[in-house]
Amino acid sequence: VNDTYGHGVGDQLLKGVAERLKAAVRESDIIFRLGGDEFTIILKTPEVIFPEVVVRRIQDNLAEPFFFKSIQIGFVSASIGIATFPKHGRTVGELMKNADVAMYEAKKSNTPWLHFAADMVLRATG
């Protein structure tokens, strides 16, 4: 997007994505941008709203085109890795690392989202 339409449109797109992510979760959940085009969502009570429900909402929200003046961007998608406490980690660092591993595995397998599994680490390291 930055190369084709410029950084201004790229920045607007990131803001638009953030708004659509926000619309997919509850007020009590937390969304933050890690950098670049990577976001993290923390569901405060995943047993109340299952991660799979949020993933579907995110996919539906991002599937709608973005419009910026005369520019339409309709190719935004997300690769999502899911890690849950305490099953996939007991610290923020472990959960972030394991969600990242699951996200890269989802990208590699051309799957929109995956839950973390221990064997993903073995595949990632060789």
Let me know if 60 is a catalytic residue: no
Give dist(CA 73, CA 67) in Å, integer. 6
From 37, 60, 100, 119, active-site residue: 37
Give 43's DSSP letter.
-
Measured distance CA(58)–CA(77) in Å, rounded: 9
Measured at the CA of 55, the angle between CA 95 and CA 21, to 5 degrees, comes to 90
What residues are annotated to the active site? Answer: 37
